[in-house]
Each structure stands twice: as C-alpha cells, then as structure tokens.
Amino acid sequence: MPTYWVIELAIQDDFPILQRLVNGHRLIYLDNAATTQKPAIVIDAMNDYYTKHNANVHRAVHTLAGEATDGYEACRDALKTWFRAERCILTSGTTEAINLAAHAWGHSQLKGRPIVLTEMEHHSDIVPWQMLAETFGNELRYVPVKSDLTLDMEAFEASIEGAGLVCVVHTSNVLGVRNPIEEIIRIAHNHGAKVLLDAAQGAPHCQINMAELGADMMALSAHKMCGPTGIGCLLVNEETFQEMQPFMGGGDMIETVTLEGSTYQTNEHRFEAGTPRIAEAIGWNAALTYLGTLDLEQQHGRLLEIARHVAQELRSMGMTVYGRHDDDDSSVVSFLHPTLHSEDFAHLLDARGVAVRTGHHCAQPLLNRLGITGTVRASFYIYNTMQDAEEFLMHVRNILERFA
C-alpha cells in the first residue's frame, strides 16, 4: 500500500490535533462516529471570519455584513451542490434538523398517519417521532433488525401500508451497516410515503446524491464531516419544502410583524429564526472544500480495508464484533469482550492515547435487539492509518494479556 501510505501521512498533517500527546502517547483518535477532528483549513476559516469579517448577516448595508452574508449563504449553496439538494435549511445539527422535520413538516402533513422507523435508528431519529406521536396519536412502526444485522425488508414492506413517512438511518452509527435506502425510497414512494434519511454517518463517508436517490428530507451534522460544532442542516426537496410550516419564530424568518400577526419569508430563512450560525457555516463550507480535495471513494475503500482488518483481528482475539463491513458500510467497528467491561477497556486504551467510545451510542433499541447494553466502538476516518489500526490492536492485545 505505498500510495495509501503517502496519502495517509499527508492527510494527518492537515489535522493539528494529531500532533497532540494523550497521557504521554501519540493520540490515536478512533471516536470519529461521535465527532471528527478539524483540518487547519476549517479552523483557519473561522479564525479568518472572526478576525476580518465578523458581522451579523442579512438586511445590512455595510461591508462586513455583506461579507458575512456572502459567507453564510455560500455554505448553503455549497451544501446544495455537494448533496444535489433543492433546499437547505441550516440548523444546529442532525438532531435539530429532525426535530424541525417533525414540527415543520410532520405536524401539519402527517395528520395522524403511521410513521415507519427502524430499530437501527439513533435516538435523534426516534424521540422526535415519539413526541410527535404522543401529541397526534400516530402509530410508530419499527422495522426489525435481523440477526445478520440488516433491516428486515419483508417486515418493512409489510409495514409501509398507509404510512405517511419513513425515517431511516442511511448508515448505522453502531454497526456501520449502510441500509438499502434506494429500495426503501422506491417502496415508500410507491405507497405514497415520504422518506427522511438520517445521514449523520452516511454523509461523512460517501457522496450522497439526494436528487438521484429521490429522498424527500435528509438530516446531517457538520461536526461529523470535519466541520465545526453547532451546525447541521435539513436538506429538503422542493415539494416537501412547500409543505413545511414555520417552526421557531423570531428575527430573520419574518417578512412583517404587526401586533395582529406576522408573515414569513418564503425561502429557507423561513426556518432559520434568529441570528444564524455564521462562523460555523463558514467553517463547514471550508470542510466541504477540504473533503472535495480528497478522493472520497478511494478513502472509503482504504478505511473499509482497515475496518475489516481490525474486525478480523478482534474476532481472532475472542471478541464479538457487531458489524458486516460490506462494501458500502462505513468503517465502524463495534465489539465486546466476553468478560472485560467495555468501559474498563476504553479507560485502559485511553491510558495509551487511544480514543474509542463505549456505551449505547444513543441507539438503545438496537442494542436491546442485540441483547447487549453497550459496545466498544472504534471508528475510522480519513486521517486514520493502517498504522493507527495496528497500534490500536497491539494495545488491545496488551490489555487482554494484562487484564482479561
């Protein structure tokens, strides 16, 4: 893998945090499904904004305000282009995006119709719908996960009748499994249901083409794709956008306010009440620029290879690995040791500079299905190398020898 090796090192250089020592050891950051690190270009873009252009956006005449507005709106445009989306509403993240979908679209459009979810969903794609169902009495139908860790598509087909919406995670944050969303969208649309994709994990790992997929709504977060915290978006197709009603009220989303009532903007600003996330938008746009310089498909292949290697090695050490690592899956490796507690494992790895996550990964229904309460999760991203993986495995072996 000589070419990989060169690319890997070049990418690592772009991420200042990787210079850091943790407990005296080189940081091996394998908690990427929780949040990713930021390349210097992203950090610098926000810096540059705050040191040269900072101002409130929209409605202002002065130069800084114009620059800030351009910067903010450029992020929206870049997202639309990147994901081939018709409308892009900037939110604080995936979670707020899904809550926005539930309130702005669901409240007025679902009219009590059933909602199809899957057992693989992140809490952020469950709780907003449970809340909506509590108010409006919608039936929630959960598509089970089979023992091979894929969705039970027969059960899905059986559950679609009469449903108004299907909410499905593009790629599972626990398993790395990439769901058959093309088929799901096709079946849902055939039955008159819209589809919302939770692309929080999908977006960082592959180039999602919303227009081609025909998805109606798609939620994602910047911080999982090299962008800053505090920003995400709900991408929506035009038809769905026109059906949405205002959610939060306030500055920037209104056209006119009188004591008797208000009228609202008709573009995306309608759903972006208050001063928006300006520096964050500028940082996210820089992240897209950065990712655009990489060959994401090649990266996907490289990382999947790492994940497969790690999964195989862990299995050979007696671990249970929860994942398939099929060609389209993400490079997440969830595992458990038969006796060593997952949190103890993470603590011990941390002592060697390795960052992994443990716990339920905000996917308790999935873990219930698997009959466990948590896993250790190592998730790989563009700046991780096979070298990281080997060192991680070495520490794991070491820990097992000393502690298991």
Partner 1 sequence: MTYPQKLAELVDDFQSIDDRMERLEYVFDLASEVNELPNDEWTDSTRIHGCQSEAHVRVDIEDENVRLYSGADSKLVQGLMGILTIAIDGQPIEIARTLTPEFAVEMGVLNSLSPSRSNGFRNMFDKVMSTLMEEE
Q: Site residues for ligand PLP, window 261-280 (CB under 6 A)? A: 274-275
Q: Is 52 in the site for partner 1 (CB under 8 A)?
A: no
> Pattern of binders to a second copy over 333-362, x per CB under 8 A?
----------x--xx-xx---xxxxxx--x
226 is catalytic: no
Q: Is 20 in the site for a second copy (CB under 8 A)?
A: yes
Residue with tokens 């449903």, as numbered in its chain: 163
Q: Which of residues 40-69 bind a second copy (CB under 8 A)?
A: 42-43, 46-47, 50-56, 59-65
Across the beta sheet with 217-221, the strand order is 87-91, 232-236, 217-221, 194-198, 165-169, 115-118, 140-143
Residue with tokens 């202002």, as numbered in its chain: 60
Nearest to 125 by CA among 188, 79, 171: 171
Residue ranges of alpha helices (H) inside 215-260 are 238-243
Contacted by 198, from a second copy, partner 1, ligand PLP, none: CB < 5 to 8 Å by type: ligand PLP
**In degrees to the nearest 10, what's the CA dihedral of 80, 86, 88, 93?**
-80
Among 308, 359, 364, 387, indicate the residue that binds partner 1 (CB under 8 A). 359
Closer CB to a second copy, 274 or 292, in the complex = 274
Q: Which of residues 135-194 bind ligand PLP (CB under 6 A)?
A: 169, 173
Contacted by 285, from ligand PLP, partner 1, a second copy, none: CB < 5 to 8 Å by type: none
Q: What's the rounded Cα separation, in Å, for the pair 183 and 385?
A: 34
Among 7, 45, 92, 378, indicate the residue that binds a second copy (CB under 8 A). 92
Closer CB to partner 1, 123 or 191, in the complex = 123
Name residue 335's amino acid.
Answer: F
Strand bridging mode 194-198 / 217-221: parallel
Minimum distance of ligand PLP from residue 400's CB (angstroms): 28
Minimum distance of partner 1 from residue 64's CB (angstroms): 10
> Pattern of binders to partner 1 over 19-38, x per CB under 8 A?
----xx--------------
Residue with tokens 């009748």, as numbered in its chain: 161
Minimum distance of ligand PLP from residue 198's CB (angstroms): 5
Q: Is 16 in the site for a second copy (CB under 8 A)?
A: yes
Nearest to 125 by CA among 99, 143, 151: 99
Q: Which of residues 293-352 bind partner 1 (CB under 8 A)?
A: 340-341, 343-344, 347-348, 350-352
Closer CB to a second copy, 278 or 321, in the complex = 278
Provide the sign of the torsion angle of the four alpha carbons 178, 219, 336, 357, taken in this order: positive
Closer CB to partner 1, 13 or 343, in the complex = 343
Q: What's the rounded Cα separation, in Å, for the pair 93 and 200?
A: 9
Minimum distance of a second copy from residue 338's CB (angstroms): 20
**Cβ-Cβ contacts under 8 Å for 137 (sequence gap 6 or more):** 112
User: Which of 24-53 are b and which e, b meaning 16 or more Cβ less than 10 Å from the residue's Cβ?
Assistant: eeebbbbbbbbbbbbbeebbebbebbeeeb
By the 8 A CB rule, do 353 and 21 touch? yes
Q: Is 229 in the site for a second copy (CB under 8 A)?
A: yes
Q: Is 12 in the site for a second copy (CB under 8 A)?
A: no
Cα-based distances in Å from 308 to 52, 174, 303, 321 = 45, 15, 9, 11
By the 8 A CB rule, do 86 and 241 touch? yes
Indicate the SS3 state at residue 255: strand
Q: What is the DSSP string of 83-122?
A: HT-SEEEEESSHHHHHHHIIIIIIHHHTTT--EEEETT--
Closer CB to a second copy, 213 or 354, in the complex = 354
By the 8 A CB rule, do 322 and 355 touch? no
Minimum distance of partner 1 from residue 276's CB (angstroms): 15
Closer CB to ligand PLP, 56 or 320, in the complex = 56
Among 69, 95, 159, 379, indicate the residue that binds ligand PLP (CB under 6 A). 95
Q: Is 256 in the site for partner 1 (CB under 8 A)?
A: no
Minimum distance of a second copy from residue 303's CB (angstroms): 19
Active site positions, annotated: 362
Residues that bind ligand PLP (CB under 6 A): 93-95, 122, 124-125, 169, 173, 198, 200-201, 221, 232, 251, 274-275, 362
Residues that bind partner 1 (CB under 8 A): 23-24, 58-62, 65-66, 69-70, 340-341, 343-344, 347-348, 350-352, 359, 402-403
